[in-house]
């Protein structure tokens, strides 16, 4: 039994537009204030406010407006949606924006293409590096020029059936709500899960940044155009360079494709007279500095700023399980200090509220941070926080079993060296925290280990 796909847990509080018939409990509807929602988008006021001044912003806003109007008028079938993954990092966002810009300028029959960010609009600012990169390319500060998941005019499942097609970037398989959509293309640097074998192009490559794959394909097609190049705004080029710089640590890691693509882009940017490595190093530092600025965020925001999750299909007779994984670049102790009373269980109370809000049955927080080892050397430490709770879907026995199954998978994995957290005494039933030091031991590694264990559901 493999997972059907990856859905929907990313759609957080603001996910009012989605109807979720398969869910036992509904998402609570925390709506943005009415004047701010796309519900009122026939209103000129919605579109007139918060103008981004860049060319790219204006193009993006026009596409969004046409898309929303067309979907309302029953013409969703004319549109191609380009979507990144629901974690919504700079790479995912940039890859989606880049490819949608390209497709909508490349062919007349794909000019109705738009990027969908699978992050709610109010969560975009939880990634300060995205905010900075967007500001640098003159996008609007309130993100009204971007289409986010909570602003779809119809439930995703309904739109999925109508669309001309979707394109996945930085994302190997569609979330379960998009399952009925036709997949036109995939560009990714995750593990290939075999989705959409007929997609064209269907590119999986181990680049540092997925945006590299998208941008290289775009440049190849742009430079081969018989009718001459369409206008490539420097804003798009610079946004792409930001994304590649951040993921490749200023080109100090990655593949030759990251470097060659960055070099081609640099020539088209405002920095064409400068040296490639100087520029990439500068952009990387700028983005990294912004990215670290999470001082103000509380535990709930830390959990939701980089959250991925979906339904895992389990064997016959077992309930399917919503599994959610948060990546957090801060230690659990530091997060606990951000709770009102600085107690471990206060952290779990916040985690429980968030899990309930998003509908997750099993939650993992994957923390990473630097600390000093016994020789006073700085090392990267990682933590895996696991919680399983009984709810109206999982009985006490189910929860105990799942907790045990996942614990075994983590503790016995040959790819991990998990040790119990030093304050494990403070944990209660079906809560566990491990630390480990596997450099590449982030969500890309942990998620398949946990999903495979849950999908098999064998003690
Ligand atoms: C898309 O291209 C067609 C054919 O060239 C044109 O008529 C239409 O106005 C274009 N639409 C957009 C949104 O640019
Ligand atoms: C980048 O270059 C364009 C065109 O050459 C120019 O209009 C723009 O002001 C420049 N932007 C920055 C931030 O230097
Ligand atoms: C929070 O609790 C930990 C462990 O109990 C303690 O070491 C730390 O000093 C406390 N921090 C604050 C800000 O009270």
Residue-wise pLDDT tens digits, 211-246: 999 999 999 999 999 999 999 999 999 999 999 999
Closest residue to atom 5 of ligand 1, CA basis = 108
pLDDT value of residue 281? 97
My answer on whether 261 and 346 are in the same domain is no
My answer on whether 94 and 168 are in the same domain is yes
pLDDT value of residue 144? 87
Return the exposure string of 196-213: e unless at least 16 CB atoms fall within 10 Å of the residue's CB, then b: beebeebbbeebbbbbbb
User: How sure is the predictor about 373, in pLDDT bands with cuts at 50, 70 and 90?
Assistant: confident
Ligand 3 near 423 CB (within 6 A): no
Ligand 3 near 337 CB (within 6 A): yes
My answer on whether 227 and 317 are in the same domain is no
- Mean pLDDT score of the chain: 88
Question: Residue 192 phi/psi, 5° resolution?
Answer: -70, 120
Which DSSP symbol is given to 27?
Answer: P
User: Who's near 289: CB < 8 A, 6+ residues apart?
Assistant: none
Which of 291, 314, 341 corresponds to the end of one domain? Answer: 291
Closest residue to atom 1 of ligand 3, CA basis = 342
pLDDT value of residue 292? 84
Q: Which of 149-153, 401-405, 422-426 has the lowest mean pLDDT?
A: 149-153
- pLDDT tops 50 at residue 19: no
Mean pLDDT in residue range 98-115 = 96
**Any idea how long the chain is?**
459
Half-sphere exposure of 411 (CA within 13 A, CB side): 12
Return the exposure string of 331-343: e unless at least 16 CB atoms fall within 10 Å of the residue's CB, then b: bbbebbebbeeee
- What is d(CA 225, CA 221) in angstroms, rounded to the nearest whole number? 6
Q: Which of 33-37, 204-208, 340-344 has the lowest mean pLDDT?
A: 33-37
Which of 291, 316, 336 corresponds to the end of one domain? Answer: 291
- pLDDT tops 80 at residue 264: yes
Q: Which of 36-40, 341-345, 360-364, 428-432 has the lowest mean pLDDT?
A: 36-40
- Range list of H helices, 248-379: 256-266, 276-291, 299-305, 332-337, 344-358
Closest residue to atom 9 of ligand 3, CA basis = 337
The CATH number for 248's domain is 3.90.1640.10
pLDDT value of residue 21? 29
Residue 202 located in a structural domain:
yes
Ligand 2 near 270 CB (within 6 A): yes
Ligand 1 near 404 CB (within 6 A): no
Coil, helix or strand at residue 53: coil
Helix H or strand E encompassing 98: helix 90-106
Residue 6 located in a structural domain:
no
My answer on whether 52 and 196 are in the same domain is yes
N-terminal to C-terminal alpha carbon distance within the chain: 16
pLDDT value of residue 122? 80
Mean pLDDT in residue range 407-419 = 95
Which of 254, 274, 291 corresponds to the end of one domain? Answer: 291
- What is d(CA 131, CA 143) in angstroms, rounded to the nearest whole number? 9
Question: Residue 385 phi/psi, 5° resolution?
Answer: -105, 120
Residue 168 located in a structural domain:
yes
- pLDDT tops 50 at residue 431: yes
Q: How many domains does the chain have?
A: 2
- Read off the pLDDT of residues 114-166 as tens digits, 9 standing for 90 and up: 999 998 888 888 899 999 999 888 898 888 899 999 999 999 999 999 999 99
Closest listed ligand to the CA of 426: 3
Q: In angstroms, what is the span from residue 379 Cα to ligand 3's centroid?
A: 22
Q: Which domain holds residue 268?
A: 12-291
């Amino acid at each position: 039994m493999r997972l059907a796909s990856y859905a929907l847990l990313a759609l957080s509080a603001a996910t009012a537009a989605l109807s979720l018939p398969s869910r036992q409990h509904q998402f609570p509807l925390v709506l943005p204030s009415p004047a701010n929602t796309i519900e009122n988008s026939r209103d000129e006021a919605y579109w007139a406010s918060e103008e981004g001044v860049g060319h790219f912003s204006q193009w993006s806003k026009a596409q969004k407006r046409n898309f929303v109007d067309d979907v309302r008028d029953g013409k969703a079938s004319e549109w191609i949606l380009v979507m990144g993954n629901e974690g919504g990092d700079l790479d995912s966002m940039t890859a989606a924006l880049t490819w949608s810009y390209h497709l909508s300028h490349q062919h007349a029959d794909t000019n109705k293409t738009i990027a969908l960010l699978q992050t709610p609009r109010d969560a975009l600012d939880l990634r300060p590096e995205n905010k900075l990169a967007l500001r640098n390319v003159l996008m609007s500060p309130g993100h009204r020029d971007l289409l986010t998941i909570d602003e779809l005019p119809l439930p995703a499942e309904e739109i999925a059936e109508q669309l001309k097609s979707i394109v996945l970037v930085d994302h190997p398989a569609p979330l379960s709500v998009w399952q009925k959509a036709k997949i036109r293309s995939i560009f990714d640097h995750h593990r290939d899960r075999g989705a959409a074998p007929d997609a064209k192009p269907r590119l999986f490559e181990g680049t540092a940044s997925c945006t590299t794959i998208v941008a290289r394909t775009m440049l190849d097609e742009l430079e081969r155009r018989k009718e001459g190049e369409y206008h490539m705004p420097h804003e798009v080029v610079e946004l792409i360079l930001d994304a590649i710089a951040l993921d490749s640590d200023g080109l100090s890691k990655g593949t030759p494709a990251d470097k060659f693509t960055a070099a081609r882009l640099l020539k088209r940017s405002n920095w064409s007279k400068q040296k490639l490595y100087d520029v990439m190093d500068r952009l990387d530092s700028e983005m990294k500095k912004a990215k670290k600025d999470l001082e103000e965020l509380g535990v709930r925001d830390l959990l939701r700023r980089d959250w991925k999750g979906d339904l895992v299909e389990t064997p016959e007779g077992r309930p399917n399980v919503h599994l959610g994984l948060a990546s957090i670049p801060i230690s659990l102790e530091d997060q606990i200090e951000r709770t009102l009373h600085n107690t471990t269980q206060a952290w779990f109370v916040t985690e429980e509220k968030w899990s309930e809000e998003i509908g997750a049955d099993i939650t993992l927080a994957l923390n990473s941070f630097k600390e000093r080892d016994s020789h006073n050397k700085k090392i990267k430490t990682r933590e895996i926080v696991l919680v399983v709770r009984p709810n109206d879907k999982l009985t006490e026995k189910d929860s105990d079993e799942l907790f045990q199954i996942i614990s075994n998978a983590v503790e016995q994995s040959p790819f991990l060296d998990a040790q119990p957290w030093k304050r494990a005494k403070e944990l209660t039933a079906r809560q566990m925290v491990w630390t480990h030091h596997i450099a590449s031991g982030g969500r890309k590694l942990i998620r398949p280990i946990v999903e495979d264990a849950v999908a098999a559901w064998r003690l």
